[in-house]
Structure 1
């Protein structure tokens, strides 16, 4: 993949996933929390003919809209970041002063990594960037961007079902609430484990922390009128 992030990595066995672990878990949790704002408002007192089915379709509609908005913003963010990289590449390519090119590269680095890279190393990168052929004039979308956006949409929408589907499957609202909450906590626990392993922490501790955080956030969302 070139420095601007504009090319598709076809034929590369070490290709990175379109959405990493943090992206996938974050979108799943967003969808869960959105659905929980509806489930949290359900109680035995509100039970009625078709109440569970109506709640399910309302939650599903909300997450359809949320998933679409999140997918579009993923594309906007991707194109913006790609544009920044492309602008940097063009700046270096047209910069006759090597030292200025190195400074531009250093400015673009994350703060935590800046002290770890010497100017001599950045000069090697600058020289390679300066010789990149056929740089596009503007950022463009590639196939993986669309795949990533679709993946986000699917994850957000799919997260509705464990939370809201029990209200369609069970006519007794208290029973449906219990099943919904158990499934939601289990999914939050699994999400926390995935993040824990990804970060190099203890999986089960991260799972418990995520489950506790999810319960606290749900209470806060409902309390604030969500």
Structure 2
């Protein structure tokens, strides 16, 4: 459990953003790496007229399948996390021993927050949870399905910058160069976004992501991916 989210009058929980910057970048890079596993084997592709189209649709089909699996697992994880929070809130209501309740709340805190949250803060949270009207069970809300759709689209979209050159250019060497350039630009953009989000230096993070992407792709291909 990463956060403690109160239940407000038995209404479904609300989130500010369906997918945050880290979610978006990670899912997009996941789709990109999946597509790159196909492009890494480009030298083995025959020189048939439709070889580029076959490669494109193979990469797209793979990302469609993995995008669907990733979206479904996002829904499973979301419901499980919400159910765990509901279980904690119910425990606060049924626990008469204050020290036991506070210990359960502290165990539920993210590790980074533990040292800065005092027992008095936890007591206020415990009292609020105990007073809330809770739903009978964890349920999906509309944003959950929008988030799953967003993940699916991001994984699938990771295919296009890498594979589209192979259906635009007849010459495979030209297509490969264009694909690699687009891949590097996409990796840099992903790292740049993460760097801005974390405050760690956008340009530096962009180049680090390029290096990480190249190393990870080579590893995937080397392992038979």
Normalization by structure 1: what TM-score? 0.93
| Superimposed CA distance per residue, residues 126-178 of structure 1 (whole angstroms, 9 cap, x where no aligned partner) | 10110001x11211100000000000001111111111011001110010000
Partner of 2:103 in structure 1? Answer: 103
Shift of 1:95: 1.3
Partner of 2:77 in structure 1? Answer: 77
Partner of 1:169 in structure 2? Answer: 168
Checking the alignment, whether the CA contact within 8 Å between 2:5 and 2:13 is kept in structure 1 is no
Shift of 1:211: 0.6
| Superimposed CA distance per residue, residues 96-131 of structure 1 (whole angstroms, 9 cap, x where no aligned partner) | 222222111111112221121111111011101100
Shift of 1:44: 7.6
| Superimposed CA distance per residue, residues 180-225 of structure 1 (whole angstroms, 9 cap, x where no aligned partner) | 1100110000000000111111100000000111111111111111
Q: Pairwise mapping of residues 147-226 of structure 1 onto structure 2 (< 5 A)? A: 147-226=146-225
- Residues 1:137 and 2:136 aligned together: yes
Q: Name the SS of the counterpart of 2:42 in structure 1.
A: coil
Runs of 4 or more off by more than 4 Å in structure 1?
none
Checking the alignment, whether the CA contact within 8 Å between 1:196 and 1:207 is kept in structure 2 is yes
The whole-number CA distance in structure 1 between the counterparts of 2:189 and 2:45 is 32
Unpaired stretches in structure 2, ≥5 consecutive residues? none
Q: 1:45 to 1:20 in 2, by over 3 A?
A: closer
Normalization by structure 2: what TM-score? 0.93
Shift of 1:26: 0.2
The whole-number CA distance in structure 2 between the counterparts of 1:142 and 1:4 is 13
Partner of 2:57 in structure 1? Answer: 57
The whole-number CA distance in structure 1 between the counterparts of 2:167 and 2:75 is 34
Partner of 1:37 in structure 2? Answer: 37
Q: Name the SS of the counterpart of 1:43 in structure 2.
A: helix
Shift of 1:94: 1.3
Checking the alignment, whether the CA contact within 8 Å between 2:187 and 2:210 is kept in structure 1 is yes
Checking the alignment, whether the CA contact within 8 Å between 2:12 and 2:141 is kept in structure 1 is yes
- Residues 1:3 and 2:6 aligned together: yes
Checking the alignment, whether the CA contact within 8 Å between 1:8 and 1:143 is kept in structure 2 is no
- What is the root-mean-square deviation in Å for CA atoms of aligned residues? 1.6
